[in-house]
């Protein structure tokens, strides 16, 4: 008996929606096996990882804080992926948005105004959009592969941040630590709940979800995205410009990643440091696909992946497990998403070896 994958005549609409649930289930089962092999009680470890972080208000607020950048970046990436443009450099756009948006509180730190934070957000969006435009222009002008260019530019952004906080933007009162000045009160993200870390970034994420949902479902641009992503030749016959779509997708995606970046440093961190992200830009790729490139789905997927960060921290404290556990879970989840998505276009068939030999 052999197992074969046979191509479906049409993609399975049922598996399109069952695939994420199946991937999550397999991830949990694999996690239980992993914890058991490490010598932990799988039930207890999974409880610490997935349930305990949801049982107190502080953890729920922290869940929202971590989900906000994932959702912002994820909905931006959905525009790229739906239009068949592969932006893998959201981490770099996130970082560049944080850098450009931090010009006001770091370079012009003496200026405090009600306009400070809104201008920081605008600069963050500009920084992410301009950085996202680079791989788009390289693809349009030279046919460069956007996967490679956007990914490699991430390291340019990260090294730029490292240079700034160790050099010209280093805090003169920071005892030689590689970090910028602390942001003034006017430059900090407003809190949604008094005396909590849950900031306005959560509201930005919800607004982005609604805006992109309307873009996809109610506008001509959304129709253009779907057509060029599914059938580029039909898009060309309809008069849609592939080059303009590439630039639009990358700049919009970059702008949302840049907003996520400046809100992250103006919110939980409060200054620039060499590391401002635990990998949100890369994790958001998983968020986008787990949410089926649908803004509403991305909102829930962002909360789930944020839980993986919280669970990793809880497991590290209570069980003494490596901090890399959350990365392992995210990698396992991505593997199962890709594997289960195969069932959308293929179905499993058991073929008798004897029958195959006879043929």
Q: Higher-confidence residue: 285 or 239?
A: 285
| Residue whose entry in the numeric block shows the structure tokens 């008798």 | 352
pLDDT digit string (tens) for 246-282? 999 999 999 999 999 999 999 989 999 999 999 999 9
Q: Higher-confidence residue: 355 or 326?
A: 326
Q: Note the residue count of the chain.
A: 359
Please report the pLDDT score of residue 220 as a whole number.
93
Alpha carbons 49 and 45: distance in angstroms, whole number: 6
Token digits of residue 78: 């959905």
Q: What is the mean pLDDT of residues 10-24?
A: 87
Alpha carbons 167 and 193: distance in angstroms, whole number: 36
Helices (H) and strands (E) in the chain, counts: 15, 2
Please report the pLDDT score of residue 57 as a whole number.
87
pLDDT digit string (tens) for 109-133? 999 999 999 999 999 999 999 999 9
Question: For domain 48-320, which CATH number applies: 1.10.540, 3.90.1410, 2.60.40, 1.10.3470?
Answer: 1.10.3470
CA distances for 333 relative to 303, 304, 326, angstroms: 14, 11, 10
Q: Hey, where are the domains in the chain?
A: 1-40+321-359, 48-320
Percent of the chain predicted with pLDDT > 70 = 98
| Residue whose entry in the numeric block shows the structure tokens 């479902």 | 217
Please report the pLDDT score of residue 105 as a whole number.
96
Burial class (CB in 10 A: 0-12, 13-18, 19+), 301: buried
Q: Which helix (H) or strand (E) holds 171?
A: none
Report whether 90 contacts 74 (CB < 8 A). no
User: How many alpha carbons fall within 13 Å on the CB side of residue 65?
Assistant: 25
Alpha carbons 84 and 227: distance in angstroms, whole number: 10
Report whether 220 contacts 54 (CB < 8 A). no
Name the β-bridge partners of 347. Answer: 6
Q: Categorize the per-residue pLDDT at 1 as very low, low, confident or very high, splitting at 50, 70 and 90.
A: low
Name the β-bridge partners of 350. Answer: 3
Q: What is the mean pLDDT of residues 213-238?
A: 91
pTM (two decimals)? 0.92
Taking CA 276 as the corner, what is the angle to CA 135 and CA 62, rounded to the nearest 5 degrees? 120
């Amino acid at each position: 008996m052999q197992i074969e994958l046979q191509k479906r005549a049409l993609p399975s609409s049922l598996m399109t929606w069952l695939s994420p649930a199946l991937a999550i289930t397999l991830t949990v089962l694999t996690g239980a096996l992993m914890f058991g092999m490490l010598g932990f009680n799988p039930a207890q470890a999974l409880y610490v990882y997935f349930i305990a972080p949801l049982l107190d208000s502080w953890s729920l607020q922290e869940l929202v804080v971590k989900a906000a950048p994932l959702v912002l970046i994820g909905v931006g990436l959905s525009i790229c992926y739906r239009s068949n443009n592969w932006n893998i450099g959201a981490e770099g756009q996130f970082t560049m948005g944080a850098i450009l948006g931090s010009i006001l509180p770091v370079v012009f730190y003496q200026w405090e105004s009600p306009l400070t934070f809104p201008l920081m957000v605008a600069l963050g969006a500009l920084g992410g959009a301009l950085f996202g435009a680079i791989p788009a222009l390289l693809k349009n002008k030279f046919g460069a592969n956007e996967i490679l260019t956007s990914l490699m530019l991430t390291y340019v952004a990260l090294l730029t941040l490292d240079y700034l906080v160790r050099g010209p933007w280093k805090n003169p009162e920071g005892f030689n630590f590689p970090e910028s000045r602390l942001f003034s009160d006017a430059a900090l993200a407003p809190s949604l709940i008094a005396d909590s870390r849950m900031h306005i970034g959560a509201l930005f994420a919800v607004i982005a979800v609604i805006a992109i949902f309307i873009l996809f479902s109610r506008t001509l641009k959304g129709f253009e995205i779907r057509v060029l992503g599914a059938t580029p030749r039909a898009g060309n016959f309809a008069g849609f410009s592939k080059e303009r779509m590439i630039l639009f997708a990358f700049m919009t995606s970059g702008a949302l990643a840049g907003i996520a970046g400046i809100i992250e440093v103006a919110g939980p961190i409060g200054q620039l440091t060499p590391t401002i992200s635990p990998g949100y830009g890369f994790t958001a790729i998983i968020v986008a696909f787990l949410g089926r490139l649908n803004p509403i789905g991305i909102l829930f997927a962002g909360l789930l992946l944020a839980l993986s960060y919280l669970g990793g921290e809880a497991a590290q404290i209570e069980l003494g497990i490596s901090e890399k556990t959350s990365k392992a879970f995210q990698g396992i989840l991505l593997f199962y998403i890709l594997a289960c998505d195969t069932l959308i276009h293929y179905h499993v068939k058991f073929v008798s070896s004897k029958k195959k030999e006879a043929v």
